Amino acid sequence: MPLAQCPICEKSISKRAYACPGCGEPDPFHRRVKFKALSTVLWIAAIVGGLYLFWVYGLPMLIDLAHKL
């Protein structure tokens, strides 16, 4: 198990620790913050991609369908 130093108290702790057992610092390596930012970026990309696909493919089909009625 890889060990690293806590940025607050500089004790050796596991890199997978959710809190430092020495000083109690929650998320000492900011892993949750990075994951949340990456998750947000991926969700925004998925929504923008979905809107683009609807604009390019779905909207013209709806317009053609409306003209046929």
User: Domain boundaries in the chain?
Assistant: 3-68
Residue 64: pLDDT over 90: yes
The two tokens of residue 60 are 């013209």
- Look at residue 42 and tell me whether its pLDDT is greater than 90: yes
User: What single letter denotes the amino acid at residue 44?
Assistant: I
The HSE-up count of residue 35 (CA atoms within 13 Å, CB side) is 5
Task: Give the pLDDT band (50/70/90) at residue 27.
Answer: confident
Tokens, residue 54: 């609807």
Average pLDDT over residues 35-53: 93
Alpha helices in the chain (DSSP H): 31-53, 59-68
Residue 1 has pLDDT above 80, yes or no: no
What was the pLDDT predicted at 50?
A: 97
| CA–CA separation, 29 and 13 (whole Å) | 11
Residue 55 has pLDDT above 80, yes or no: yes
